[in-house]
Structures are given as structure tokens and as C-alpha cells.
Structure 1
Amino acid sequence: MPAPLVAASFARCTRIAHWRGWREGGARLLSPLLLLLAWEVAARTGLLPPRVLAAPSAIGGTLWQMLASGELGGHLLVSLRRALSGLAIGVGCGTLLALLAGLSRRGELVVDSPMQMLRTLPFLAIVPLFILWFGVGETPKIALIALGTTFPIYLTLFSGIRSLDPKLLEAAHLLGLSRGEQIIHVVLPGALPAFFVGLRYAFGISWLGLVVVEQINANAGIGYLVNDARDFMRTDVIVICLLIYSVLGLAIDSLVRVLERFALAWRPTFIRT
């Protein structure tokens, strides 16, 4: 086949593929758009009262007002500071405890049993005790998030260390690596995938914990906005806060995926896109 015909055929196939991609993307967007339209019509005609669920247009107007006034940004910064502070403490404690238990049998005997007992305690049941210990300021809020995020890091990293292929450690021993070198060059890199799984779980728990802790005498934050909107039956504000939780959760999960892609690029089985 002549080269011009080959090029023309390739260009035609490329246009068809692009058209199919746009068509499938439009089809995926059609059902959400129809749902929003039905929601708007139901709210406008009175079938869906505002106290049950505000109209999408009303939610959009409220969102714009809160952004323009800076109210939403201020509350969001407060919530992010609480969530990230608690997460940093939880990740640090969970990593340290997992290393102590995973790298030593004695450490496992000392650490693992108390951790397994503590992780079964209901989250809300600990709130009154933390209030008695730390008062009603920022400390109990951050401490509760830290406690909740410690366990997924501990469990996944401990499992990653203990499930490491023994052949890798045997090869490292034959190569003459010391105990410390084996931990640095073999054990810790091999446990990184499990650590990132725990980190993604910990991020999710930090957002869930944020909803709980911002009900403890809070005067700022996304959880405070939800409680305040509930008292005044502002369903538009509640929906906005829920959207913020979901969007930020997705954004943070995407960030962890990017970090995971760079940190695990050395793995031959890691899928690159």
C-alpha cells in the first residue's frame, strides 16, 4: 500500500478513536447531568423542600458567596491544620511502633498486644476521656485524629515487614550485609508498598475523625459549619461541606498515588502509566 494511503488510513483511524473517546465521555456525563436536572426541577416545583435538600442552583449560589467572603477558606484551613497535624503524629507513631514490633520478636511481644487491644476500642467512646485529659481545646482534636491514624500505619507496615520474602534476606546475608544494612537496603524498601496502603487508609480516617472531633466545642472548621448548618436547617451548606470532604479526600489520595509512583519506580512489577 502506498505511503500516502497508509498515512490517510492512520489519520482516519485516529479521528475515529478520538470521536469514540469523546462520545463515551459524553455518555458518562449524561446520567449525572440528567440527575442534576431532575434534582433542580424537583426543588423548583416544591417536590423536594429546601429543608430536605436544597436545589443545585441554590447550593452553587451559597458556595460562591462563601468563597467570595472568605468564610469557607478560613474554615477549610482550620480543618486542614487539624487533620494534617494529627496525621503527622499518627504516621510517626505508627511507623515507629511497626518497626519495633516488626524487626524484633521482643518488640512484638511488648507492642503488638496493646496495639491490637487499643484498635478495637470504639472511636467515639474515647472522646469523653480525651476531654477530661486535655480539655476542650485543640489538643484533644489533634490527639483523636493521631490515635485513629496510628493503627492503619502500624498494621500495614508490620504486615509488610513480616511478609518480606525470606530469599531476599538470605541473599543479603550471603552478600555480607550487616543487620542494619539489611534493614535499610532490603527490609524497608520491601515494606514500602504496605506503608503506602496504610497511608491511604490513614488519610481517610483522618477525614472521618475530623467530622467527630470538630463537634467538640469547635468554633471553626468544616465540621463546625456542618453542625451550625444543621441547627439552622441549611441543607445547602451541609451539601457544600460534604462535597469539600469528598473532593479533598480524592485530591489527597491522588497525591499519595503520585508519591507511591515515584517511591516504587524501582520495582519491576510496578505499573507505569
Structure 2
Amino acid sequence: MAISFQTKPAKTNASSAELLKSRKTTRRRLGPGKAIPYGLAIGPALLLVAWVALSAAGLLDEQTLPAPWTIIETAIDLVDDGRLQSNLLTSLQRAAISLVLGVAIGVVLALVSGLSRIGESLVDGPVQIKRAIPTLALIPLFIVWFGIGESMKVIVITTSVLIPVYINTHAQLRSVDNRYVELAETVGLSRWQFVRLIALPGALPGFFTGLRMAVTISWLALVVVEQVNATSGIGYLMTQARTYGQIDIIVVGLVVYALFGLVGDVLVRRVERRALSWRQTLGG
């Protein structure tokens, strides 16, 4: 009996070890895996390679899409005569001012609506109405109200930018764990302390999602407003090129918009990773 008593645990331990070993060998990775260095550049690089290859093979008509080397030559000419820098600076100023205003207004409205039922009743409805109305549909009305000057362009971009910031920040505020709210009430935090220590940190993931969308939308809205009675900006340069059939200049403008949109998104992602380094998500 003593011998059999000693051999049974040994068999059990052996079978357990084999089971654990089999589980380790058959384990599947379900996540996306480790981040690829400079992974965001792979897609655009492949598009550029395809563009170069198709142009070199003569499969792309120059009147439809000029070759990359033609675009580079055109960009150099625009830089030499100063047109690209001056119009680019104007576009950057419009986008930056509108982005700052839109983000600030969106965050304030999200706090008012997310932290108060009365605020939600007053704010959420009008924002949802604006969300359903395309920016293009508002331009004629804004021209009547504000004219065709710089203020109209900034207002159009600002109203477009604040929507994603508001929507995502408001949604994240409403998803803050109620236990933190009860804890804040228990320890006697003031309204401002609650907002600073609990509401704003809890809303950061949604805010950064909205900010990434806002950066892209600011450039999309900029493309639209700069082609409406503008006298400067990349969009104005593209409109003038369209009048004279200069497709290469139009493509230069599109490349500039794409590059700044991509760079803006990358910068926001880096800030997001630093600010939310405590989160463990599929994104890393």
C-alpha cells in the first residue's frame, strides 16, 4: 500500500507537467503582436512605389496623374518662386487657429454636457444637429452671415473640428466608473477637484480619439474653405491651377495636405502613448 501511495502522485505530477507543456506549445497569439518600427510609413511607401512603377512603365497618363519626378520638379519650382511657402504658411495658420479653438470649445461643451443633465439637455441636441449637417451645406449660410473673409473660414473649420472632440470626450466621460464618483463624494472633493482629478483623466482616451479625428477633419475642411473665394492658401493655389489645367500643381497641393494630415496624426499618437502609458491595450 505504501508503494502504491507513493507512485500515484508521481503519475499525477507527470501528467500535469505534460498537460502544461502541451498548453504552452499549442498557445495561440490572438493579439496584433509587437509594434512594427515605422509601421505607419509602410503603407504610404508602397503607394509611392506603385506610383513610381506605373509611371515608369508608361501605364499612367501624364494628363491624368503626373509622374512623381514631375511632381518633385513642380514643387521645387513653386518653392523657388516663393508661392508654395507663402500659401502653405497661410494654410497652417488657418488650420492651427481653428484646431485650437475647435478642440477647446469641444472639450468645454463635453464637460458641460457630460457632467450635468441640464447641460446635456442644452448642448447635446444642437451638437448632434450640427453633426448631421455636412460642412459644405453650411458654407453658403456662413458666407451670408460672416462674409467671405478669414473669419468665415476659421468658423467653418472650427465647427467641423469640435464635433469629434465633443462626441468622443462626452462618451468617455459618461463611461467613467461610478465608483470613482462615489469615492469623490465620500472624501468631499469639490466640483473643480472632481473634474481635475477624476473626470479629465478618465476622459483622456476618448479625447485623444477625438483629437486624432479633429486633426484630419481640420485639413479636410481647410481644403473646402480655401477653394471658396480665397486669395491665399494651398487650396487657393490648387483652384488657380485647376483654372489653367495645371494638374501637377494640383497634385502637389494634395501631397502637401496628405503629408500634414499624416504628420499630425503621428504626433497626436505619440502624445497619446505618453499620456496614457498606464493603459495596457492591443495598441501597446
TM-score of Structure 1 vs Structure 2, range by shorter chain: 0.7 to 0.9
> Quick check: 1:40–1:57 contact (8 Å CA) kept in 2?
no
Structure 2 CA distance, aligned partners of 1:191 and 1:230?
Answer: 44
Structure 2 CA distance, aligned partners of 1:95 and 1:108?
Answer: 13
1:181 and 2:181 correspond: no
% same residue: 43
Residue 193 of structure 1: aligned partner: 205
> Quick check: 1:160–1:194 contact (8 Å CA) kept in 2?
yes
Give secondary structure in 1 for the equivalent of 2:119. helix
Query: What is the 5 A alignment of 1:2-41?
Result: 32-33=48-49, 35-41=51-57
Structure 2 CA distance, aligned partners of 1:145 and 1:107?
Answer: 24
Q: Which amino acid aligns with 2:196?
A: I
> How far apart are 1:213 and its partner, in Å?
0.3
Structure 2 CA distance, aligned partners of 1:70 and 1:92?
Answer: 34
Q: Which of 200, 207, 218 is the aligned partner of 1:206?
A: 218
How high is the TM-score relative to the length of structure 2? Answer: 0.79
Structure 1 CA distance, aligned partners of 2:130 and 2:48?
Answer: 42
> Quick check: 1:119–1:151 contact (8 Å CA) kept in 2?
yes
How high is the TM-score relative to the length of structure 1? Answer: 0.82
1:235 and 2:220 correspond: no
Structure 1 CA distance, aligned partners of 2:122 and 2:46?
Answer: 56
Unaligned runs of 5+ in 1: 1-20
Residue 256 of structure 2: aligned partner: 244
The CA deviation string for residues 226-266 of structure 1, in whole angstroms up to 9 with x for no partner, is 1111111211111111111111111111111122123223x
Q: Which amino acid aligns with 1:107?
A: G
Unaligned runs of 5+ in 2: 1-36
> How far apart are 1:48 and its partner, in Å?
4.3
Give secondary structure in 2 for the equivalent of 1:119. helix
Residue 77 of structure 1: aligned partner: 89
> How far apart are 1:164 and its partner, in Å?
0.5
271 and 177 in structure 1: CA distance in 2 versus 1, 3 angstrom threshold:
farther
The count of corresponding residues between Structure 1 and Structure 2 is 244
Query: What is the 5 A alignment of 1:1-273?
Result: 32-33=48-49, 35-42=51-58, 48-265=60-277, 267-269=278-280
> Over alpha carbons, which structure has the higher Rg?
2
> How far apart are 1:106 and its partner, in Å?
0.8
